[in-house]
Chain A
Amino acid sequence: MLLTKVEEKALSGQYGTPTMLAHKILLSIGEATDASKLVPVKWAHLSGANFNTIGDAGLDFLKSISNETKFSIFTTINPMGYDRNKPEFVSDEFRIKQKDITDAYEQMGVVPSYSCTPYEIFDMPPKNTMVSFAESNAAVISNSIFGLLTNKESALSALASAITGKAPYSELRVEEFRHPKERIMMADCDLSNELEYGMLGYFAGKEVKGSSVAIDGTRHLDLINAKSLSASIGTSGYCGMFTNQSPEGQVETITYDKAERVKVFDELSTAEDGDIIALGSPQLGLDELNKVALSVDNKKFTKPCMIFCARSIYEKARMTQISQKIEKAGAKIICDACTCLTPLITRDCYDGVITNSVKASYYLNKSNKIPVCLMDIKKILKNYVS
């Protein structure tokens, strides 16, 4: 990869350690992905905000660079571990370390969005704008639905982009790599709800080898189903984009049928029932909160329920009485955090979690070691609200 003279100086440490490390990361990725050069990006979205995901080593690293650098472009950030307005739900130790992390990011200039759905909070830039999104659902949906150009970044590559304002010109930032060489065809599958799209996405992420895939049956996706599909593609594999357009030339065809669907369901749905309902991975948008509110109006959840959303979405929901209806039904609405890896849902407290999120199911099973009962939202609201 060719570096400019200024980039070479940055790499040699002439502009300080954080800038040197950022260039080292970008150079390493650039070499790995056959980039020809670094290109400017307009927006970085970071992951690595939750103490449960980056730990003490990550915290120390962020502290060490936060005094010496500022983000050079618009930079937003993923959920952290708990709701800033409800600190009583986590231990003092967790809260202190979590605050050190958010302080470090905020010192560098991050917009404190603490959301994995930046596309539901901020105005999206014009199509073909180069960005650097680490959150996998945000990267996939931005490439696939909003026409932005990002690779499926890592927490550190997006951080490097936030510092330098640049990213390697490779893979999904290059037009030719956005044309899929693999296609997923449906056979006897009914994509009738967000859970079905989530399972399809999980299958696609696992099976697809390239960075982009054509998926039949995704022409008229609404945002809720697109979120579910994007989050699960990002969870199970490397692929960072889907398209509904028929690919040109020779492509490999992969069939998704009932047997494959059952395999995915059996892998991820590991419990018959649960003792808590968790909604929000990705965090719920206003439309999703509204659907929940309409179903629970003047009724009660029959099991404890946690609903995760961005703070700005919660504030909008309050203005229209949506959140009040949900809270009146007995659910807790948690801002700034999400279902995945939050200390609010642990094996010590719960034997099983009911959710409609394939992404949450994967991480609850693998990381939190909690069995999961997967169920679509309509069924959850029918079975556990009365």
Chain B
Amino acid sequence: MTGIVNDPSHELDEVLIKDSILIFPNSTGSSVGAYSIYTLKKNGVSPKCIICTSRVDITTASGCAIADIPLFQILDQNYKIKSGQYGIVGGIIPVLKIKTD
């Protein structure tokens, strides 16, 4: 696992998520996604932190728990964050955002 998104149908296809602030609504699909988050960390290519905009789901929460990746939820749906901005999580790091609508 390289930390590079590999999904031609996705807006972040071919983007490296290493050391980013990764923002998405919530995870879907396979229950082994939790191990994927852990693998990203072990391979040194994980995001610095993850922010869920819809709900913090069980897969993301459990993966972040053992990978020690800070995990947040945005409760204010009027937030304004865009890809290309920078945030501070123990250093200034770029924001990667997946559309929530």
Contact = CB atoms under 8 A, between A and B. Distances in A.
Interface of A: 21, 24-25, 27-29, 31-33, 47-48, 50, 53-58, 60-61, 134-136, 151-158, 160, 205, 209, 235-238, 362-363, 366
A156 B28 contact: no
A8 to B, nearest CB: 16
B57 A238 contact: yes
A154 B62 contact: yes
26 contacts: A21-B65, A21-B66, A29-B58, A29-B61, A31-B61, A32-B58, A47-B30, A47-B32, A48-B31, A48-B34, A53-B35, A55-B1, A55-B35, A57-B39, A58-B32, A58-B38, A136-B30, A154-B31, A154-B32, A155-B62, A156-B62, A157-B62, A160-B62, A205-B28, A236-B29, A363-B30
Contacts, number: 114
A32 B61 contact: yes
A25 B66 contact: yes
B53 interface: no
Contact of B35 (A27, A54, A135, A366): A54
Given A25-B65, A154-B63, A366-B7, A135 B58 contact: no
A53 to B, nearest CB: 4
B65 A155 contact: no
Interface of B: 1, 7, 26-35, 38-39, 41-43, 54-59, 61-66, 71, 73
Contacts of B42: 56-57, 60
B32 A53 contact: yes
B28 A154 contact: no
Contacts of A56: 39, 42
A237 B58 CA distance: 12
B32 to A, nearest CB: 4
Contact of A155 (B27, B35, B43, B71): B35
B31 A32 contact: no
Contact of B31 (A25, A47, A57, A58): A47
Contact of A136 (B31, B57, B73): B31
A154 B66 contact: no
B38 A151 contact: no
A54 B63 CA distance: 12
Contact of B58 (A47, A50, A60, A151): A151
B21 to A, nearest CB: 18
Given A28-B65, A135-B31, A57 B38 contact: yes
B31 A155 contact: yes
B7 A157 contact: no
Most buried by B among A32, A156, A235, A362: A156
A54 B58 contact: no
A155 B34 contact: yes
The 8 A-B pairs with the shortest beta carbon distances in the complex, nearest first, are: A32-B56, A28-B65, A57-B42, A156-B62, A57-B39, A154-B34, A154-B59, A156-B34
A329 B7 CA distance: 37
